[in-house]
Amino acid sequence: MVQILTRTHAQTSLILGLGAGILALSAWQGFLFYLFGYFAVMACVLSKNGDLAGTKHWQTSYEVWSSQIFGGLLSFVLSWTLSYALVHGIRLLVLISNVQYTIEYG
């Protein structure tokens, strides 16, 4: 069960980061998006196994809900910034090239 949650957290962090970047979330909005998604996926996985408290595999329920939250944060931030730059950076590049064209040929 612990391996399943670890793999799920890694994949969830990447997917949530891509989603936050594509949606152009910034600052606290992006981190709240990550926390909400993290807890939603965690609840789905634990409820599927019938152990929402998670006491079958951990000592306390606090340990269940907080075990991997910071481990996936780096993956989230990396995929968030990459997807944001790829999706919204092209728009900025086009805007800059239009301004340069206007200045040169104005």
What is the mean pLDDT for each group of 10 consecutive residues in the chain (106 residues)?
Answer: 76 95 93 93 79 60 70 91 86 68 58
Residue 81 φ/ψ, nearest 5 degrees = -70, -35
Angstrom CA distances, 16 to 22, 26, 42, 61, 63, stand at 10, 13, 13, 24, 22
Maximum alpha-carbon separation in the chain: 70
pLDDT given for residue 44 in this prediction: 85
Burial class (CB in 10 A: 0-12, 13-18, 19+), 81: middle
Please give the Cα distance from 13 to 72 (Å, whole number). Answer: 5
Range of the domain at 42: 2-105
Our count of domains for the chain comes to 1
Q: Which residues of 27-36 are buried (b: 16+ CB within 10 A; e: fewer)?
A: eeebbebbee
> pTM for the complete prediction?
0.74
